[in-house]
Amino acid sequence: MATEPPESDEIPDSEAEWRDRLTDEEYEILRNRGTEPKFSGDYLDVKDDGTFRCAGCGTELFDSDTKFDSNSGWPSFFDANGDAVETETDTRHGMRRVEVLCSACGGHLGHVFDDGPDPTGKRYCINSVALEFDPEE
């Protein structure tokens, strides 16, 4: 069951507030559009039932039943929860990719590619650091 996105007053208004809320690693990924090293993330091999949330604001992003092993080195999902994420073109590093952002707080999550499994054909390639996991009780 999806929860409402956080109230706008719960989302920091300044980068100083984000720095206070997030760890250095979370800040680098979510606010500076960084990438964690391949095969290093805490959620890469999680197969438990539950919900993956934005580490920045708590918005429910992905259900565990959409997670799959892509062998890419990052947690991968074939679908996102409703309108929990948004995308934009990313031309950094001499590449043209589609960046995935949390629609509630604008945090950088990762990228999406068109090489995923059915039913969507999408592979949301997401940094573990950008996520929190709530196991199903």
Would you please indicate which residues are annotated as catalytic (active-site) residues? Answer: 125
The strands making up 123-126's β-sheet, listed across from edge to edge, are 67-68, 76-77, 123-126, 108-113, 97-102, 85-90
For Cα atoms 84, 90, 23, give the angle at the middle one, nearest 5 degrees.
60
Spatial contact of 101 and 111, defined as CB atoms under 8 Å apart? no
